[in-house]
């Protein structure tokens, strides 16, 4: 039996979610020299609640945030087979709780939501250099499809 619970996040969770968001940004900053200087924000956390097209989850251990993740119904390009996909983001696990399968469990719940919404695929973005995240996503069943590249001018 696991020692965590996974539940939809609420507005009351915003302080903890904002701390987790900054932890994600701090972790990813070394992978992306194009990120603006702090303070920045990745997610529109204030507007993720009570929406039909998004599910924001958090895992708790002992009443404290242990992990997060969301899925958003997002339109595909006109030339793609499916009209929409589930876009996963804000995947974060507190370092002390990594390796417990929490991220995989959150992805499974997000995938279940996608199926309930009639979506045929889920996608996410991950920095290629973030090997631990890539391994975690592959363990959860995701596969690399496209690598985005950039250069400074």
Q: pLDDT tens for residues 10-20?
A: 999 999 999 99
Please say whether the beta carbons of 21 and 67 come within 8 A: no
Q: pLDDT tens for residues 57-94?
A: 999 999 999 999 999 999 999 999 999 999 999 999 99
Selected residue with higher pLDDT from 6 and 149: 6
Q: Measured between alpha carbons, how far is 95 from 127 in angstroms, rounded to an integer? A: 18
| Backbone angles phi and psi of 151, in degrees to 5 | -155, 155
Place of tokens 């924001």: 56
Mean pLDDT of the residues in the chain: 95
Helix (H) or strand (E) segment spanning residue 136: helix 131-139
- Given this model, what pLDDT does residue 128 score? 92
């Amino acid at each position: 039996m696991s020692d965590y619970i996974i539940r939809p996040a609420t507005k009351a969770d915003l302080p903890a979610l904002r701390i987790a968001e900054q932890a994600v940004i701090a972790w990813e900053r070394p992978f992306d020299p194009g990120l603006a200087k702090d303070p920045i924000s990745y997610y529109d956390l204030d507007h993720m609640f009570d929406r039909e097209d998004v599910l924001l989850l958090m895992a708790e251990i002992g009443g404290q945030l242990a992990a997060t993740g969301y899925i958003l119904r997002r339109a595909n390009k006109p030339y793609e087979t499916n009209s929409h996909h589930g876009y996963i983001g804000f995947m974060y696990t507190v370092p002390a709780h990594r390796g417990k399968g929490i991220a995989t469990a959150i992805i499974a719940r997000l995938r279940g939501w996608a199926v309930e919404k009639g979506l045929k695929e889920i996608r996410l973005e991950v920095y290629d250099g973030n090997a631990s995240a890539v391994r975690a996503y592959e363990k959860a069943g995701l596969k690399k499809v496209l690598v985005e590249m950039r250069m400074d001018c």
